[in-house]
Structure 1
Amino acid sequence: MIYALDLVSKFLVVEFLEDKEPVTVIPGVLVLNVIRNPGAAFSIGTGMTVVFSLIAAGVVFAIIRTARRLRSLPWAVTLGLLLGGAVGNLTDRIFRAPAPLQGHVVDFVQVFPVTRFPVFNVADSAIVCGGVLAVFLAWRGYQIDGTRHNEQEVEETDG
């Protein structure tokens, strides 16, 4: 679902908004501003598209491998967010201009434009939300296999 939403949104903004002036949706809060990002988040590592593609492919492989042990709905949502986001941006890196495996990611969502907050896309949002959710689930002791380690069990085994 995330992957499809990312693909459709990028198709639409490239088709209708690229090479045009940014579109203000909510003044001072939300602007649609299409850019092509050759690097990672915050345009870090421009010129390292192949490296980012390999890292993303590794993440996708790890998520798919981990999913075999998945017995937890919250972790399924988390891994779905991470997988959809990683595949969405990986698709850009593999298939978009300027060349195969050197493609630039389409970013278009700009919040609080006066603060110079980075422009991002649906895939980026999914990756961030999935990462935050993963940290929360791990902090609360939820395991991928559906079990939960709580602090009381840990204290009993330590004592």
Structure 2
Amino acid sequence: MNEPAGGDVPTNVQAEDGWSAVIEDMEATATKYRERGWTALELHPGDSVLVDSDRRTGLDVVLPGSEFEELESLVDDRQFRDVEVFRAEGNELVYVLVVEIAPESETAVFVPAYYDPSQAAEKLESIREAGAVRLFCRRLNDDAVRFVHDDPTPFLPDPVE
């Protein structure tokens, strides 16, 4: 009787302090881009996970339909060839803020994500072996916008030796 009701319910990652910090950093960084005259799209994934399957290997984020449509329209006529990755670890999770950059059009897309490395050892190894990380921004019907980066290091925790 001392345990609160629902004590066995999994923690909502998006309610964690680490996730709130990532969203606050995203908003502040996007504001700085906008102040320089850039177009900045902030995304708000409903879920985020590392994947390793026949169809997808990398970081997969699920977006609301309206944000996905806005992203899709931005990538149609822009070349996103640069990336900034901000990574932090806490609460047994890895948090990343990925900024996909199209310098010629002065456009930046902000993709916050998180994953549990303790549940993803094989997936992390697959990504390291591939020597690249793919970021899948998708909607529930599996339509996706994909960004590919040749250096997975900024996205991943240091390997355990």
Q: TM-score, normalised by structure 1?
A: 0.24
- Which one has the largest radius of gyration? 1
Give the structure with the larger helix fraction: 1
Normalised by the length of structure 2, the TM-score is 0.24
From the two aligned structures, give the one with the greater strand fraction.
2
The higher relative CO (CA closer than 8 Å, separation ≥ 6) is in 1
